[in-house]
């Protein structure tokens, strides 16, 4: 079964530009983009806690610049 949808010309142009190859259908393109946008595996509780801890460190000023770390490692 197929469904027809209406797209603005600008939207169609953007979708066309996102095709991997010219023969890729719009359905394939949209499904590929939807798969990239949605992760069916949620973040674990541990990962969420680590993210929160990282945000708390940033807000508390416990961070170092990339330049400082590169200098410390002798990469500059």
pLDDT at 2: 87
The CB density around residue 24, as the number of other CB atoms within 10 Å, is 13
pLDDT reading at 76 higher than 80:
no
Q: How many Å apart are CA 16 and CA 24, to the nearest integer?
A: 9
Residue 63 has what pLDDT? 93
Instruction: Report the alpha-carbon distance of residue 29 to residue 35 in Å, rounded.
Output: 10
Rounded to whole angstroms, the Cα distance separating 20 from 29 reads: 8
Residue 40 predicted with pLDDT over 90: no
Is pLDDT of 75 > 80? yes
Q: What predicted TM-score, i.e. pTM, was given to this entire model?
A: 0.55
Q: Please report which helix (H) or strand (E) contains residue 30, including its range.
A: helix 26-37
pLDDT in tens, 56-73: 999 999 999 999 999 999
């Amino acid at each position: 079964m197929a469904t027809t949808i209406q797209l603005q010309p600008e939207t169609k142009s953007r979708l066309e530009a996102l095709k991997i190859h010219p023969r890729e259908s719009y359905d394939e393109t949209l499904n590929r983009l939807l798969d990239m946008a949605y992760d069916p595996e949620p973040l674990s509780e541990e990962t969420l806690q680590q993210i929160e801890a990282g945000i708390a460190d940033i807000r508390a000023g416990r961070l170092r610049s990339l330049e400082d770390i590169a200098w410390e490692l002798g990469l500059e």
